[in-house]
């Protein structure tokens, strides 16, 4: 495929000086580009672009399709929590378009990751991620072609409205229902049920205080070590200082924490707690 690309590029460059052939070549180039885009879209709803692809498919002039591009930084070391959430919504939008009946080649969804195409970021003079920009079929992006993330949020529905506004393509967002929660609950119930069924002759284990005490203890320790905060805020596991390469596991501020830090605290709590209970029970047992 890379070979094919090279040919296309070569053709495009070499035939620049031939104005008679220009129109025709342009069309073939265009159809080539469109078919290329279609091929990628059929593989993944959101096309991943790097600097070279971006220049060729988006910047280079012959183009009759709009492209919505999300500029983002998804690598874990970038620590961009919003990017991940925005990416999920964007994927939902792109998939809704990809599998809808009205799917055409008028519009494509693509993304540029900072770590793959930092030159694109420089070219567009962009400093923040995620950013959504619409590259319309004709002309350059205007001010309104940059999605106002701060104002409208990154919900797929909002994005769809914006896309409809800019390109006249109406996308009905279809969210894949989230089966994970009910599935987990069902599995848990099935597990408990099967356990009860297997042990149906002897249900004493339900009255085993150790099991209950142990699970209560786990819950309490999980809560007091701040796992709920981790769940809601989604902090990184640890922080690596990009300059020195030093990894710090404990957050400097008391308003925030790393996941690693909570694990350390959890461990200490378990140790302390078991020591106390062991000391006190030493005699009884």
Contact residues for another protein (CB under 8 A)?
127-128, 148, 150-151, 204, 207, 209-210, 212-213, 216-217, 219-221, 223-229, 231-233, 254-257, 261-262, 265, 268-269, 272-274, 276-277, 279-285
Judged by CB, which is closer to another protein: 28, or 269?
269
Least Å distance, CB 114 to another protein, is 15
Least Å distance, CB 270 to another protein, is 8
- CA 80/CA 73 separation, integer angstroms: 7
Judged by CB, which is closer to another protein: 167, or 262?
262
Least Å distance, CB 186 to another protein, is 15
Judged by CB, which is closer to another protein: 61, or 177?
177
Judged by CB, which is closer to another protein: 48, or 272?
272
Least Å distance, CB 83 to another protein, is 14
Q: Is 238 buried (19+), middle (13-18) or exposed (0-12) by CB count in 10 A? A: middle
> CA gyration radius for the chain?
27
Least Å distance, CB 278 to another protein, is 9
């Amino acid at each position: 495929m890379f070979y094919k690309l090279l040919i296309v590029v070569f053709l495009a460059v070499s035939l620049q000086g031939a104005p008679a052939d220009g129109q025709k070549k342009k069309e073939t180039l265009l159809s080539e580009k469109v078919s290329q885009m279609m091929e990628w879209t059929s593989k993944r709803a959101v096309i991943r672009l790097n600097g070279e692809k971006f220049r060729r498919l988006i910047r280079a002039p012959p183009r009759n399709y709009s492209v919505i591009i999300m500029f983002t930084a998804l690598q874990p070391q970038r620590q961009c929590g919003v990017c991940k959430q925005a990416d999920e919504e964007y994927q939902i939008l792109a998939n809704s378009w990809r599998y809808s009946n009205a799917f055409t080649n008028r519009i494509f969804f693509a993304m540029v990751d900072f770590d793959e195409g930092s030159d694109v970021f420089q070219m567009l003079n962009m400093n923040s991620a995620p950013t959504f920009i619409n590259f319309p079929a004709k002309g350059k992006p205007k001010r309104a072609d940059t999605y106002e993330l701060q104002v409208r949020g990154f919900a797929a529905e909002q994005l769809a409205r914006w896309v409809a506004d800019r390109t006249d393509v109406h996308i009905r967002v279809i969210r894949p229902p989230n089966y994970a929660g009910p599935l987990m609950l069902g599995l848990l119930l099935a597990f408990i049920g099967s356990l009860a069924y297997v042990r149906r002759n002897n249900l004493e284990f339900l009255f085993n205080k150790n099991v209950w005490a142990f699970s209560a203890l786990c819950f309490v320790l999980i809560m007091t070590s701040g796992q709920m905060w981790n769940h809601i805020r989604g902090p990184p596991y640890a922080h690596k200082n990009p300059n020195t390469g030093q990894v710090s596991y404990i957050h400097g501020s008391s308003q925030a924490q790393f996941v690693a830090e909570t694990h350390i605290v959890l461990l200490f709590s378990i140790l302390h707690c078991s020591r106390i209970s062991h000391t006190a029970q030493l005699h009884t047992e």
